[in-house]
Amino acid sequence: MTQYLTTPETRRIAYDLTPGTGPAVVFLGGFRSDMEGTKAVDLRDWAVAQGRAFLRFDYSGHGLSAGRFEDGAIGDWFEDARAALSLVEGPVVLVGSSMGGWIALQLARAMPERVAALVGIAAAPDFTEDLMWASFDDAQRAQVMAGAYPLPSAYGEPTPITRRLIEEGRDRLVLRDPLPLPFPVRLLQGTADAEVPVSVALRLMEHAQSPDLRLTLVKGADHRFSSPECLALIRQTVADVAG
């Protein structure tokens, strides 16, 4: 059942908490995604069957949460995720999809004592700078700086890429400074991902400092990573690190 939490920054976010044993699994969705996405629902069903505590939520401006998407930025959504962690006790298993992988890495950097393990699914750290801004031409950059650039999307209406999204994202980058991850880390990545190339996963694997980090490449899998085989791999990976 959907419930609501008001964050310390006074944003009202929607969440669904499944009670069970720990460590709780926390799903962090992607850019313009929500907690009703295929991967979030599949993991919720797995958690229910396992009696495992599971939390999914919508960032502000996403899904059932309050606010406008175009008013948000990476830092806002990190703060939303940090507030959501107050709903569960003890160390958690963070499962971050696309942008959620970046958010998960920020949480791990800010509060490593709360993280038992981290699973990244097509994780997209620093994507506003390295995948968006770096690829924009002068005209597109000018539109961003003037307010917003409507980035065409394969998933529906164009996505407004705002000046605040780009500039605020620069304060949240995780691949420029040391990134200690002192717990098991699993990265899952499709070779046919058109949004987040394999090079991002390889760069993250090289950059992060972890005693137990593994990258699994799935030939032919796209950014959605939601085929039955991919969903089964996600479930098995989370089960392995959750213990």
Active site residue 98: yes
* Helix 38-50 × helix 228-242 angle, to 10°: 50
Which residue among the candidates 80, 98, 126, 130 is catalytic per the annotation? Answer: 98
Residue position matching structure tokens 């926390």: 26
Dihedral sign computed on CA atoms, order 211, 30, 218, 238: positive
6-179-135 Cα angle (round to 5): 80
- Which helix (H) or strand (E) segment holds residue 49: the answer is helix 38-50
Query: Environment class of residue 194 by beta-carbon count within 10 Å: exposed (0-12), middle (13-18) or buried (19+)?
Result: exposed
**Half-sphere exposure of residue 195: CA atoms within 13 angstroms, side-chain side:** 23
Instruction: Provide the 10 A C-beta neighbour count for residue 64.
Output: 16
Residue 223 a catalytic site member: yes
**Active-site residues: which are they?**
98, 193, 223
